[in-house]
Structure 1
């Protein structure tokens, strides 16, 4: 990646998050922390960001409210469709499976509908954990890491290190958008973890209601040809269904 392109990507990520640390920049773009600091200094000298200890942030005038809705606001959006999707997902899970549940309201619906049978559930979602802890038949493994309040999830290098050696039978991940044969989310670290969960899983399922199909977001974390199936609701149009089926199997809940 050329330096000019990297600077634009750094700035784009800073705009998406409001701030960016040296460590995150180094990890995200596979550069040294010294190089990240020099890039930050160059962006600050051009007046595009404000340099601060350990990172950069946007000038106050450029700060914008995040476009991703908080988890608790998402709960009220298409609840029946999410429940239908969750029911279809639960039908794919067998007793004694090790299952990964990602963040998001649809994955939380899966947690709510899981039967009281022996399962192991690995998750970085504190929302899913709060639901699952009532199910005494399920063994829960909560990944630790940096807390992201907007999705109620744990993310970052520590989270990825915990997940890396694990063997998962089936993973269920969500997305803020699905377009052009790829799945999108609004947060880079959250996307990286979901991509890693796919790598560690024997079967991979993307769960999203039909309103997400045809939408894009900040970070493309997974090509649909890596996914065994997309599970969506019956309101998906013929065009939306064809778009998914061009890349992978489609399950209509």
Structure 2
């Protein structure tokens, strides 16, 4: 009976790619308590991945994952990292913000930086800054429905028109070899184009991303001036300045 239920859960997730716990429970007509126990088992078997916002099949972690899902993964650490990353920005700066869920949190604290100008390929960043006094420029191109971001040749061409004082990125992973890496070539190529236009590249990564594998490299960690992370030890042996987030700010 349990194995049948587990197969039904996996089938529903493969069909929808992303569901909240309440949606999944309603779809399968089971209680949320039973579902949570089943999900614990599927996580143990490495067949699904959970965040506070919902559940996806493990196979989705190697595709352009839904932004709704990503915002719930290690959310507290991402907010702390983003908040401290804003402290690096000097007044009168032009900055690039990528379409990651970690960098998105920076939009909540940019009001602290006088005369900052934002360039981004993320619709989520634009929405977050709507109504503020911060000038925002959106780079166009081909839109990803999952990440709500513009990528592709047109976006990469558009980013060449700018010179950034700072550019902020949060890749899907940092590989054991020290590369910031992405699941899609489009995401890696777009971020690489923006990094090339920046005087100062800043890498944001929570501890869960470090030591993982993905296919497409954005850049080596040594290509960034700063790395902001909640990991107490990793990454190590890098020429970048590593700022380790703790309660009370940067160390």
User: After TM superposition, is the score higher than 0.5?
Assistant: yes
Q: CA shift at 1:157, angstroms?
A: 0.9
Please list the CA deviations of residues 146-183 of structure 1 after superposition, one character each: whole Å capped at 9, or x if unmatched. Answer: 01122111001111111112110000011111021210
Q: CA shift at 1:217, angstroms?
A: 1.1
CA contact (8 A) 1:176 1:216 kept: no
Partner SS for 1:72 = helix
Are 1:191 and 2:188 matched, yes or no?
Answer: yes
In structure 2, how many angstroms separate the alpha carbons of the residues matched to 1:65 and 1:230? Answer: 28
In structure 2, how many angstroms separate the alpha carbons of the residues matched to 1:83 and 1:237? Answer: 17
In structure 2, how many angstroms separate the alpha carbons of the residues matched to 1:204 and 1:170? Answer: 6
Partner SS for 1:231 = strand
Partner SS for 1:203 = strand
Moved over 3 A (4+): none
User: 1:224 — aligned with what?
Assistant: 221
In structure 2, how many angstroms separate the alpha carbons of the residues matched to 1:140 and 1:171? Answer: 14
User: Which of 125, 147, 153 in structure 2 is aligned with 1:151?
Assistant: 147
Are the structure 2 counterparts of residues 115 and 219 from structure 1 closer, same or farther at C-alpha, using a change threshold of 3 Å?
Answer: same
CA contact (8 A) 1:181 1:247 kept: no
In structure 2, how many angstroms separate the alpha carbons of the residues matched to 1:77 and 1:183? Answer: 18
In structure 2, how many angstroms separate the alpha carbons of the residues matched to 1:90 and 1:246? Answer: 22
User: 1:92 — aligned with what?
Assistant: 88
TM-score (normalised: structure 1): 0.69
* Unaligned 5+ runs, structure 2: 1-57, 246-251
In structure 2, how many angstroms separate the alpha carbons of the residues matched to 1:76 and 1:224? Answer: 25
In structure 1, how many angstroms separate the alpha carbons of the residues matched to 2:59 and 2:149? Answer: 19
Partner SS for 2:117 = strand
Please list the CA deviations of residues 91-137 of structure 1 after superposition, one character each: whole Å capped at 9, or x if unmatched. Answer: 0112210000001110100112211532110000111110012212x
Are 1:161 and 2:157 matched, yes or no?
Answer: yes
User: 1:174 — aligned with what?
Assistant: 170
In structure 1, how many angstroms separate the alpha carbons of the residues matched to 2:200 and 2:238? Answer: 19
Partner SS for 1:141 = strand
User: Which of 119, 129, 134 in structure 2 is aligned with 1:132?
Assistant: 129
Paired residues, number = 184
User: 1:74 — aligned with what?
Assistant: 70
In structure 1, how many angstroms separate the alpha carbons of the residues matched to 2:132 and 2:207? Answer: 29
User: 1:251 — aligned with what?
Assistant: 243
User: 1:26 — aligned with what?
Assistant: none
Q: CA shift at 1:65, angstroms?
A: 5.4
Q: CA shift at 1:237, angstroms?
A: 4.5
Q: CA shift at 1:66, angstroms?
A: 3.1
Partner SS for 2:213 = coil
Are 1:211 and 2:208 matched, yes or no?
Answer: yes
CA contact (8 A) 2:167 2:201 kept: yes
Q: CA shift at 1:246, angstroms?
A: 3.0
